[in-house]
Structure 1
Amino acid sequence: MVEYTLVNLISLVVGIAFLVNGYMLVKQGREAIALFVVSLAIGGGLIFVAVFPNVFQVFATVLGLELKARAILVISNLTLFVVATYLFNRIGKLYDRLSRLNEEVSLLRSEVEELRDE
């Protein structure tokens, strides 16, 4: 029989919060599809684990671990690695876009000053 604890309730609440966050992104009309998908995956995963906590015993067996707590740590670390990699990639792209925008603003500013001088 499955035994539910406070951790399951917290996981369920946090999972629902992630799903609501993804819904709010779509409702606001922001075109952050990757962020929506990540939010949906994490929220859905947390809700799934909250409802079916014995799933990690299967993961522990497949990974060759003795305890399901270790399987939880391994999977959560892998998930954090994926999310951190995505965020670093996103930060790099935003930095490049900001650099290009600064260059364009500088060029426009110099053109405006040239036109004023004439």
Structure 2
Amino acid sequence: MSGLDRILAALAALAGGLGVAASAAAAHTSGGETLKTAAQFLLFHAPAILALTGLAATGLTRGVLTRLAAAALLIGLVLFSGDLALRALTGTPLYPMAAPSGGVVLMAGWLLAAIAVLIPTRR
């Protein structure tokens, strides 16, 4: 497993942990529904990023594309879930259009994942 794979996997694990924390916080805050959405996105995408990292590390998919897909999912999570969590907890956005931008990056990440698994590897 490369250093980049380890970083992506560690960030995915961090996203999962933040998803658990955000879920707990959502149960006890006034912005609970928005925070719950952020938590769900973190929890849904963390295992997908781990899976992409594993696919790339084992050579089952095109490594560059697969790692790019994982990175796009992470960046999308930071923008989307980060914006929603910040709004829920402080009432302040990350920046204007952060959540929609993050959503687009997440969709791009999923598209890249699909392309990465469809293109045969060189063996």
- Class of the TM-score when normalised by the shorter of the 2 chains: 0.3 to 0.5
Normalising by structure 2, we get a TM-score of 0.42
Structure with larger RCO (C-alpha < 8 A, sep 6+): 2
Larger radius of gyration: 1
